[in-house]
Amino acid sequence: MDRSDHSEAEPSRAFLFDEHPNHPGWMHWRFRDETRFNSFLGDVIVRQEGDLARVRMMPEHRHSNFGNNVHGGALLGFIDVALFAALRSFGSLSAGPAVTLDLNTHFIGAGRVGEPLEAQVEILRETRRLIFVRGLLVQMAMTVAEFSGTIRKPSAG
């Protein structure tokens, strides 16, 4: 793979955001470089429905803990990635070095391996530099976690 496609000078080339062939109406959000952290999550798909973005992944055995539930670190990693996928679907971010300033999470239930896990994300407020978000992590109509966070947009050129 030609790593020049992932240069920091052209961050928009580092991401793919296209229709998922197996999930009509859903976009596939991923890095071109599959050696980045996000690939650990597997397929991440997103769909905007009004003021809500729905972001999904399918937890696998590699995401589990000894209790055979989804590991808390995998849940936190997915929530963090889901914020960026959601903001991309809203058009608030395209690409670039945006960062999570804070991420507050309350675990409410256990996530199961082998069942789709969905982050439902909404924007509370957007300013020139910051985006404030909140959401729920759900699985099979059960709440797994609730979260809120702040994303700092990339600096202009």
The amino acid at residue 49 is E
Alpha helices in 30-71 (DSSP H): none
What pLDDT digit, counting tens, does each position of 59-103 carry? 999 999 999 999 999 999 999 999 988 998 898 877 567 899 999
The predicted model scores a pTM of 0.83
Q: Which of 27, 3, 42, 33 has the alpha carbon at shortest distance from 15?
A: 33
Instruction: Write down the pLDDT at residue 9.
Output: 38
Q: Is 50 left (phi over 0), alpha (psi -120 to 50) or beta?
A: left
Q: Which has more confidence, 27 or 122?
A: 122
Phi, psi (deg, nearest 5) at residue 66: -70, -15
Q: Which has more confidence, 132 or 36?
A: 132
Instruction: Write down the pLDDT at residue 1.
Output: 34
